[in-house]
Structure 1
Amino acid sequence: MKPVDLHKDSIVIDGLLCAKWSRKLFEDMAKGGLTAANCTVSFWENFQNTINNVVEMNQLIETNSDLMIKVHTTEDIHRAKREGKTGVIMGFQNTYAYEDQIGYVQIFKDLGVGIVQMCYNTQNLVGTGCYERDGGLSDFGREIVAEMNRVGVLCDLSHVGSKTSEEVILESKQPVAYSHCLPNGLKEHPRNKSDQELKFIADHGGFVGVTMFTPFLKNGISSTIEDYVEAIDYIYNIVGEDNIGIGTDFTQDQDQSFFEYLTHDKGYARRLTRFGEIINPKGIRTVGEFPNLTEALLTKGFSERQVRKIMGENWLTLLKKVWGE
């Protein structure tokens, strides 16, 4: 099968997108053949402000219903594929929106939030992010993990500290994920994961989505799609073909104020890091260029079956297990 035909036939899932939501972006997602994506609707926002973001996303999906559908179950992802649309999985990159209320986990699940990252870079009530001294998973955090397991929300550990991550992996009764990360073995960075961490999550039934965010890639902003595929191959050789997928971390059309918000604790306090110029790898600069990734994986030597799994089928299997439907 030709790469373009394989891509069109495959279920393509992006495990993390935090682009600027708009009709223009949705059209590019359609061009890229994206079946579904985990779309971030909360970083540092509290309950009320996250609700406002969910309302806005609901309105966008409704207004652009010729292109988008809202995802509650894996059947919705299959329906998106059948109808030639892109499914929106709403996700958080922090548990801030839960505040100190365990019952909010169910409320947001009912609204369509199926993936939630435990911490975003720093300390919260649940545990510790990757940019400060790691105190591990709190007892309240254990209750949140149990509730996420109960209602069917995937625990994401991408920006979470090493100790907190390990304790979530051990605490959770369901598989957990690094939805978007890269290996320390190719570039040392606080956001990248060691070979041991990658193996640990896979050995416990967990999942790794590979990001193409260039500040974390070996060659930075000079990175190409081949560099990204090298990172996929590196992680594949550690976690195996069933526990790996794509989590681009595309920030398409976002402006500098967005990155300032992300790189300060709580969105406004101390600076945590500087990304510098943000540009995606040459060959996959935009979501619309997603078909190039299928071709690059085939060129690297992955089989058609392996490419289908990496591009989306593995995500589908994981989400069905965690969501239960």
Structure 2
Amino acid sequence: MVVAVPFTIPKTNEDRNLDDVKALLDQSPLIDTHNDMAWSFRFALQDRISEISLYDNMSDHFAISHTDIPRMREGKVGAQFWSCYAPCSTQNKDAVRMGLEQIDVVKRMIKSYPEVFQEARTADEIESAFSNGKIASLIGLEGGHIIDSSMGALRMMFALGVRYMTLTHNCNTPWADALNSGYPNGGLTQFGRKLVVEMNRLGMMVDISHVSNSTMKHVLEESRAPVIFSHSCLQGLCNRERNVPDDVLKILAEKGGVVMIDFYNLYLTCSSRASVRDVADHIEYVRDLVGSQYVGLGSDFDAIPLTPRNLEDTSKYPNIFVELMSRGWSDEDLLDVAGRNIIRVMRRVEEVAVEMKNQLPQEDWIPDEDLKNKTCRSDF
């Protein structure tokens, strides 16, 4: 009697590597520091999150969509910083309200899907959520104009759970210059320097994506805690002002900070074409220049109109690590890039806040007559 033996297709090296990567990402959280889905709800649905299910494919609802629960789960996401963004046109108008509404969206989303999301505000809480099988959810503000030049508003945003603020978007604030914007402040003003210190005192990470070169350097001079680029690439591979120059990257590393690599094609390759290999190239560029402990992931998903091949949405994060694994990266270095680097920065930011706990809050303010709109550009 002939016994039929089931035929199985042997796994390729790439399949085996993907299995290895997914097993690795079960050990420590994969953390993305920049996703704009809250803005998608604000722009397309006026914050009405109850109208759709995050178990659906969000591409059916939003013109630009890379994120939903099934894709995040497939992509092994362990923690997500949800970006709360306000366009530059809202500066000195309704930016504060728009920021608050998106914070509300994030909080309602977490509450609506308690089986998936868990709010986190600290490094320990990220690890706790991960150990519970949940996606730790944190908040970042994209654009310093959202606090309307108010130390008090900054403190209230922190109380609501905001754990980083991007000092500018593509427009100046009265206290910090954005990139390619005329630079009337010469970088940070004295108020801006004091605001950085206040962020240190609170335990809020200072994010210098989008800011001018002078602002980057002033922040790195002033900050007592490590600084982040929440979603940026490197000028050494794509010479755009939006990207991080080598001299700033070296200072960032000396100060213990981290650059989280953006997935936007135009920042990766200075062209409309890019692949997951280009993301790996930027990660390796940081490693080769300053070390692998100073780089992570800040996708800019749900905002960018172009994504790399094989990195089209949140389900594809493991492909980054398959590529790096094929280049000989160790498991320990892969886990650092996946999330341990940003957790290290968060812990140090939290430690600095404890060290500064006896320092009085900053009470500086900018007179109303000095608050005025600056040049605004449309970019990502």
Is the CA contact (8 Å cut-off) linking 1:149 and 1:172 kept in structure 2? yes
How much has 1:70 moved relative to structure 2?
A: 1.2
How much has 1:221 moved relative to structure 2?
A: 3.1
How much has 1:323 moved relative to structure 2?
A: 2.7
TM-score (norm 1): 0.88
**Aligned amino acid, residue 285 of structure 1:** E
Aligned to 1:18: 36
Is the CA contact (8 Å cut-off) linking 2:262 and 2:297 kept in structure 1? yes
Selected match of 2:228 from 174, 177, 200: 177
Selected match of 1:304 from 320, 331, 349: 331
Q: Which runs of 4+ in 1 moved over 4 A?
A: none
Q: Distance in 1 between matches of 2:141 and 2:234?
A: 23
Aligned to 2:216: 165
Q: Distance in 1 between matches of 2:174 and 2:54?
A: 36
Deviation readout 1:112-164 (Å, 9 max, x if unpaired): 10010111122102201112123210111112111101111000001000001
The answer on 1:187 being equivalent to 2:218 is: no
Is the CA contact (8 Å cut-off) linking 1:4 and 1:295 kept in structure 2? no
Is the CA contact (8 Å cut-off) linking 2:207 and 2:228 kept in structure 1? yes
Matches within 5 A, 1:307-322: 307-322=334-349
Aligned to 1:37: 80
Q: Count residues in correspondence.
A: 301
How much has 1:107 moved relative to structure 2?
A: 0.9
Selected match of 1:9 from 27, 49, 53: 27
Selected match of 1:64 from 90, 95, 113: 113
Aligned to 2:290: 239
Q: Distance in 2 between matches of 1:208 and 1:125?
A: 25
**Aligned amino acid, residue 228 of structure 2:** A
For the aligned residue pairs, the C-alpha RMSD in angstroms reads 1.8
Aligned to 1:271: none
Is the CA contact (8 Å cut-off) linking 2:295 and 2:341 kept in structure 1? yes
- Any idea what SS the aligned residue of 2:171 has? coil
Is the CA contact (8 Å cut-off) linking 1:15 and 1:247 kept in structure 2? yes
The answer on 1:96 being equivalent to 2:148 is: no
Q: Distance in 1 between matches of 2:77 and 2:220?
A: 29
Q: Distance in 1 between matches of 2:243 and 2:225?
A: 23
How much has 1:219 moved relative to structure 2?
A: 6.2
Selected match of 1:80 from 120, 129, 135: 129
How much has 1:317 moved relative to structure 2?
A: 0.8
- Any idea what SS the aligned residue of 2:25 has? helix
- Any idea what SS the aligned residue of 1:233 has? helix
**Aligned amino acid, residue 216 of structure 2:** S
Aligned to 2:166: 117
How much has 1:5 moved relative to structure 2?
A: 1.1
Structure 1 126/241 Cα, relative in aligned 2: closer, same or farther at 3 Å?
Answer: same
- Any idea what SS the aligned residue of 2:324 has? helix
Is the CA contact (8 Å cut-off) linking 1:181 and 1:191 kept in structure 2? yes
**Aligned amino acid, residue 135 of structure 2:** T
Q: Distance in 1 between matches of 2:233 and 2:141?
A: 20
Is the CA contact (8 Å cut-off) linking 1:119 and 1:128 kept in structure 2? yes
How much has 1:50 moved relative to structure 2?
A: 1.4
Q: Distance in 2 between matches of 1:80 and 1:239?
A: 31
Aligned to 1:143: 194
How much has 1:302 moved relative to structure 2?
A: 1.0
Selected match of 1:279 from 301, 306, 318: 306
Higher mean alpha-carbon deviation, 314-323 vs 198-207, is at 198-207
Q: Distance in 2 between matches of 1:27 and 1:104?
A: 36
Q: Distance in 1 between matches of 2:270 and 2:192?
A: 36
**Aligned amino acid, residue 328 of structure 2:** G
How much has 1:48 moved relative to structure 2?
A: 2.0
**Aligned amino acid, residue 23 of structure 1:** L
Q: Distance in 2 between matches of 1:126 and 1:34?
A: 35
**Aligned amino acid, residue 9 of structure 1:** Q
Q: Distance in 1 between matches of 2:134 and 2:272?
A: 31
Structure 2: unaligned runs, 5 residues or longer: 1-18, 42-52, 56-67, 355-380
Q: Distance in 2 between matches of 1:204 and 1:9?
A: 28
How much has 1:2 moved relative to structure 2?
A: 1.9
TM-score (norm 2): 0.75
Higher mean alpha-carbon deviation, 164-173 vs 26-35, is at 26-35
Q: Distance in 2 between matches of 1:10 and 1:67?
A: 17
Aligned to 1:274: none
Q: Distance in 1 between matches of 2:335 and 2:151?
A: 37
- Any idea what SS the aligned residue of 1:23 has? coil
Aligned to 1:105: 154
